[in-house]
Structure 1
């Protein structure tokens, strides 16, 4: 039996995955959580074989959570679930130690297959993620200096989202997002958001959504 935990702040998405995975005789849902903070003690101590982590959650991203978790449990297996299919995000998930990467456009069968593959020590990338790795240039070295949260905010900024809207979506203060934006500009040697967009276009980093 494969014990699975789901961490996603969208109840509808999480409930759909629970229903889907519960149809499989070899998969059991032993936990579902809407935040990294709620999931943390269970991820540390419960007998979880695979965790499915949403990449963009309020307060702490799935990537950040996975990085912290693998410091405590180096062999922990997780699948990153994301709306993003850029090379930068897929590579970040791999670097963080994810055993799989799925976009929210993937078919139901892919989630089931990913859980089974990762639970047995394998590695699973959905078609969107494979396409991103194969056809998108490797992310520039400058991006490696960004933290997972900064990468989230960078992607939202270059796709046209305002600081105010980002703060609302990620449930962060306006000031916190401004600080992240300033750090991103400094690390990427840009002066304005427009320059960030040019940087993203140059390196084919725009998600288009």
Structure 2
């Protein structure tokens, strides 16, 4: 019997998964968590076989949670669930120690298949994730997850421009700029504007001196 923990802040999603998996004779729901903090507490000393973890939660990224759990249990098995299936997100999940990666667009049968595969110690990536990884040439396009407007704001931020300057050049409000900036930092897993500039230099998006 494979025990499964579900970590997702959306109760409808979590309940749907629990109901679906309870119909499988070889799978049982071990536990459910609505945030990363409770999940870490509940799974730190757990013998659960597989955890299905949403990549985006209100208190902490699912990838950070996974890294913390794997520091305590190096063989901890988890499947990351995300609305994103681009090469950069999949790569980050693999680097964090994920055994599997599923798009939230996957069907019920694929979720069950992924859990069984990971429980057996094998890796499982959904079809879209595999295709996107294969299509990534030398490495993933580090900005491919940004929208067109977020990319425009990114280009201004890495030049050190402030909100007022960006607003006047892009004809958008200060509030909108702050929203785009927050989305950019979240998608690139960065904390502040200094990190953004370092990121740009690291990926040769800027040619100025070091920060």
> Under TM normalisation by the shorter chain, which class is it?
0.7 to 0.9
Q: 1:166 to 1:11 in 2, by over 3 A?
A: farther
1:164 aligns to 2:165 (yes or no): no
What does residue 180 of structure 1 align with? 191
SS in 1 for 2:44: helix
Inter-partner Cα distance in structure 2 for 1:159 and 1:48: 44
Inter-partner Cα distance in structure 1 for 2:51 and 2:152: 29
Inter-partner Cα distance in structure 2 for 1:87 and 1:29: 30
Aligned-residue offset at 1:121: 0.3
What does residue 176 of structure 1 align with? none
Please provide the CA RMSD for this pair.
2.8
Inter-partner Cα distance in structure 2 for 1:54 and 1:82: 6
For normalisation by structure 1, the TM-score amounts to 0.74
Inter-partner Cα distance in structure 2 for 1:139 and 1:82: 17
Inter-partner Cα distance in structure 1 for 2:40 and 2:152: 31
1:139 aligns to 2:150 (yes or no): no
User: Quick one: which of 189, 194, 199 aligns to 2:200?
Assistant: 189
What does residue 28 of structure 1 align with? 28
Q: For this pair of structures, how many residues does the alignment match?
A: 173
Contiguous gaps of at least 5 residues in structure 1: 144-150, 173-178, 191-195, 200-209
1:61 aligns to 2:61 (yes or no): yes
What does residue 120 of structure 1 align with? 120
What does residue 39 of structure 2 align with? 39
What does residue 83 of structure 1 align with? 83
Aligned-residue offset at 1:167: 5.8
SS in 2 for 1:37: helix
For normalisation by structure 2, the TM-score amounts to 0.73
Q: Which has the larger radius of gyration?
A: 2
TM-superposition CA deviations, 1:96-133 (whole Å, max 9, x none): 11000000011111100000000110100001111111
Return the structure number with greater relative CO, CA threshold 8 A, min gap 6: 1
SS in 2 for 1:46: coil
Contiguous gaps of at least 5 residues in structure 2: 154-175, 206-211
